[in-house]
Amino acid sequence: MKLSVNDLNVFVNTPKDIAKLCEDLSCLGLEVESCIPCVAPKNVVVGKVLEKAPHKNAEKLSVCQVDVGKEVLPIVCGAKNVAPNQFVPVALNGALIGSITIAKTELRGVESCGMICSSSELGFPKINDGILELDESVGELVLGKELDEYAPFNTHVLEISLTPNRGDCLSVLGIAREISAFYNTPLKPIKALNFTPTSDLITLSVGENIESHLAYYLVCNHSLKTPLNVKLSLAHNNALSENDLNNFIEFSTHFSGVILNAYSLNITPIDLSVKNDENNLESVYINHQKRSIIAIKHQVQKDLSECLLLEASYIDPISLSLKLHALKDKTLQKDNALIYRSARGSNPNLSDGLNFLSAHLKATILESKQTKHSLKDRTLTFQLEDITEILGLAVEKEKIQSILKNLGFKVSAKEPNSKPQILEVIAPNFRHDIKTIQDIAEEILRFVGIDNLISKPLHCVSSKNSNPHYDTHRFFENLKHKALACGFKEVIHYVFYSKEKQQKLGFEVLEDPLELQNPITTELNTLRTSLVCGLLDASLRNKNLGFKSIALYEKGSVYNSKREEIQKLGFLASGLQKKESYPDAKGKAWDFYSFAECVSKVIGDFSLEKLTIQTPINHPYQSAKIIQNHEIIGVIAKIHPKVIQELDLFESYYAEIDASKLKRPAMLLKPFSIYPSSVRDLTLIIDENTAFSKIKKALKDAQIPNLSEILPLDIFKESDNTIALSVRCVIHSLEKTLNDEEVNSAVQKTLEILEKEFNARLKG
């Protein structure tokens, strides 16, 4: 919203310090986005055109004799609208107009001693084509008087950003009310017009369920020539038009905040009715002809008669918004500016708007009518402690009452002798945003100043607000961060994939009755049953882009053959683990165990068991089941060389893990030994088909005293069906340092169990 300080002075005396005014308005919540001075240049004075004669050497130029008070100056002018007896702004010798300094000169052989100016040449918005014609609306015109001594030509234009709930400030009067309350200066109200009805021509009927409030003045003998002060005010707000009646209506609405309209009528009996139209919108009918839709669309009046029916209207903004939302006819023509004002809450004091408009039209009021509606008071009761609790600041009762009364609230003590004291507040009818005690507290805070609030620490006892879903989310977020820390890049793929590609790689597919009925494309004709296929595609794209070191991570949904959704984690490493740099001049390639180690850093320690079923994608000798907490949670494998060759990939490894089987580790505390441990390395001759997991389980079940850990070290072929397996036994006690006898006893029991269970023996 734009308005000038000169406009504000119609209702309130503004402070001279405009910068301070802007700062204070912003503190009140009326943010001043810009403040632009609009001041006429020096040496521009009021002049009067005495004569106008054609230029002897130019058809489009005129030679004017202009009285500037002390003298009459010849001035050459090219404007078509210049005419004798006009009062005009004249730039004298030395005046700076834009970037041009006015000087005495000759134009086509004729002396010119100044310049008759247009509004835009003076730095003001464009009013009309040609020169600016002055009139008495800006003040008494004195020849030779500097133009910047007139208030409309020495002002500032403010652009104010309003929040949607402050429809009461969409007018000059609304902003003036805030200034009046803040500076505690009197507000100049719109004067009520005293008149005696002299006709009885209007018959007003209102249909059922009509919510709008309407008031009418029938006027005549009006003046429809837009004065200069009105033009300047509208031009500052980008609302000036060529229609004089529209200018007066827009000007009065801009100043009063009341939604106004006018109808051109002949002096005959007027059948005025208000009822719902075919779209269930409240409309005005005059002599059975639809003339406007209240708060939505007004007709432009072109052919004006001697009499005008002035209309002021108000409709509850919430009711209007609901009706517009329910409107089925989306092609209905609407006035967006009118809806903007109405839906944010216009001024319901309709007589203010009609009196302001009638006064500026200088019209005679013949008759008035209004609908029988009354606005209900919005009453709120509260204790002073309520305000203190909301704001965190104790405000004196007298200050609260003073602020609210200055804003137009009616304040009274409900029970004067009660403790705590209860205040009863009635909000003014133009404050549509005041509905709760919090709104009252906000009004007080605006005037006390948010900078005056004392910063206090928040005193609270924090309770655990997490739930299982949040805990699960955080668990997998932590896994993702671990994967990123290990060098894996997160990727995301569609849940759709090619059925044929999945079958070729050996993954299960959906049962035929459960397949997609209308796939997006033939390449995305089924739901994915594994994350690995997408990871392979991403690896190939990165390889083709020139990347040699590729490590990818994905968490997402997959589906089994029954189309049941499962959450899985996928890892893929391809190419180099370390790029070519000193000391690895050729880089370092990934291998099965380094890949498994990286995966374990993300999901935690696990063990491996041989896969019993092989698929085309898996290397037959470098693939395994991932075991964690005695449960199979996934698969880890090297990609089969044939698949690598067919897809043109680097040597690659993948791991796919069922996310539902990953357990969030409990925080367990257990003692550790402060005594040294003993290590014994054993090389065993054992059957080559014996899995190390079985050896580990047998020793754990035996519960050998002081044997804390057994680790595989090395393996090599011994004979056709036996291998030499090197293992390390870690032996220690929580209570003491073990002697050789106790260590040897633990080793001996280990050998006995291995011999008994697996027919293993020490290599001689």
- Structure tokens belonging to residue 550: 């590729």
Helix axes 172-183, 397-406, angle to 10 degrees: 150
Residue 416, class by beta-carbon neighbours within 10 Å (0-12 exposed, 13-18 middle, 19+ buried)?
Answer: exposed
Chain center to CA of 272: 45
Report whether 352 contacts 190 (CB < 8 A): yes
List the one residue out of 187, 320, 203 whose CA is nearest residue 259.
320
Question: Could you tell me whether strands 489-490 and 549-559 are parallel, antiparallel, or unpaired per DSSP bridges?
Answer: parallel
List the one residue out of 170, 155, 145 whose CA is nearest residue 125.
155
Quote the CA–CA distance of 256 and 250 in Å, as a whole number: 10
- In SS3 terms, 174-209 reads as HHHHHHHHHHCCCCCCCCCCCCCCCCCCEEEEECCC
List the one residue out of 633, 632, 649, 630 whose CA is nearest residue 641.
649
- Structure tokens belonging to residue 724: 């030499």
Residue with tokens 């210049």: 82
Question: Could you tell me whether strands 270-276 and 297-298 are parallel, antiparallel, or unpaired per DSSP bridges?
Answer: unpaired
- Structure tokens belonging to residue 224: 């429809």
What does 378-414 look like in DSSP terms, one character per residue? EEEEEEHHHHHHHHTS---HHHHHHHHHHTT-EEEES
Cis preceding-peptide flag for 583 (omega within 30 of 0): yes
Phi/psi for 612 (5° steps) reads -90, -25
CA angle, 181 as apex, 176 and 184 as ends, to 5°? 110
Produce one character per residue of 705-743: b if its CB has 16 or more CB atoms within 10 Å, e if not.
Answer: ebbeebeeeeeeebeeebbebebebebbbeeeebeeeeb
Helix axes 244-256, 350-361, angle to 10 degrees: 140
Say whether 8 sits in a helix, a strand or coil.
helix
Quote the CA–CA distance of 425 and 441 in Å, as a whole number: 12
Quote the CA–CA distance of 488 and 599 in Å, as a whole number: 10
Produce one character per residue of 48-75: b if its CB has 16 or more CB atoms within 10 Å, e if not.
Answer: bbeebeebeeeeebbbbebbbeeebbbb
Quote the CA–CA distance of 355 and 178 in Å, as a whole number: 22
Quote the CA–CA distance of 85 and 20 in Å, as a whole number: 42
Q: Is 424 part of any known ligand binding site?
A: no
Quote the CA–CA distance of 451 and 448 in Å, as a whole number: 8
The 10 Å Cβ neighbour count of residue 544 is: 9
Helix axes 468-485, 592-603, angle to 10 degrees: 150
State the DSSP H helix or E strand holding residue 558, giving kind and residue range, or none if neither: strand 549-559
Q: Is 442 part of any known ligand binding site?
A: yes
Q: Which residues contact 59 (CB under 8 A, 6 or more apart)?
A: none
Chain center to CA of 20: 30
Question: Could you tell me whether strands 618-628 and 631-639 are parallel, antiparallel, or unpaired per DSSP bridges?
Answer: antiparallel
What are the binding residues? 433, 439, 442-443
What are the binding residues for Mg(2+)? 433, 439, 442-443
